[in-house]
Amino acid sequence: MVERAGDPAATLASGRERLPPGRHGLSRVFVAENQRERLLNGVVDAVAEHGWNVTTIASITAAAKISRRTFYEYFEGKQDCFLAAYAMIETHVLDAMLAAPGADEPWPDRVRPRLAALLDVLARDPAVARCFLVEPLAAGGEVAARYREAMQLLAATLRPEPPPSQLNMEVRDQALIGGIATLIVRRLNDVPVERGPYGHRSTGTSLRSLLPDLTELALAPYVGRAEAKRLAA
């Protein structure tokens, strides 16, 4: 989610610190943005820690340090709050991938930097990674539908442009994203989560070490395994 900074105003704006009590002189807009951001961070932390099915409004508000009454001023329920957080995560992930170096390079040379950007975002906070790749399918319904849409957009950042006309790209995309998600989720489940600065949790280099395998996986259907392995290295 939003990184915490050093000065008090930026720290409050990050949504991870409680507003000072009493007449703090902050604008209503600022207070509203801070409270909503804290709830988005709260639902990510609660869902990552407890899982979607066990997470309650109480666990979200406890993580956000916000009252239940205030929660309902912003969201209708757990799903509404999680969808808002998921939209923020999705935008952050896709923007990072599209902003990766090499955007003007030929397609094969764009794949590795974009996957590196994906892994970098997820490695910085496994709570975000779990909410992006693991919990939506457990939630089902509208949340799972949003996950599938996000995976289609992610696949689009990795496929050739234009895609080969003789291939069924929908099937290729599903196989690719399924493989990428499986490898990342397996690593998230295998590696102990360590708590880092400001409460962010990090797996260190564990997720980033998947880059060669994911690159080869993304390239092989189009350039062959031998060439994909060479480019992945």
Domain identity same for 131 and 34: no
- The tens digit of pLDDT for each residue in 132-187 reads 999 999 999 999 999 999 999 999 999 887 767 666 778 888 889 999 999 999 99
Domain identity same for 115 and 189: yes
Domain identity same for 87 and 51: no
E strand or H helix at 195, and its extent? strand 194-195
Domain identity same for 86 and 70: no
Residue 222: the pLDDT is 85
Report how far residue 158's alpha carbon sits from residue 108's, in angstroms, rounded to the nearest whole number: 9
Q: What is the CATH number of the domain that holds 47?
A: 1.10.10.60
Average pLDDT of the segment spanning 97-104? 93
Tally the domains of the chain. Answer: 2
Report how far residue 14's alpha carbon sits from residue 47's, in angstroms, rounded to the nearest whole number: 19
Taking CA atoms, 135 is separated from 88, 191, 225, in Å, by 15, 17, 32
pTM score, whole prediction: 0.81
Domain identity same for 103 and 167: yes
First CA to last CA across the chain, in angstroms? Answer: 31
Domain identity same for 171 and 64: no
List phi, psi (to 5°) of 55: -65, 135
Domain that holds residue 175: 79-232
E strand or H helix at 87, and its extent? helix 78-98
Which among 36, 57, 77 is the end of a domain? 77
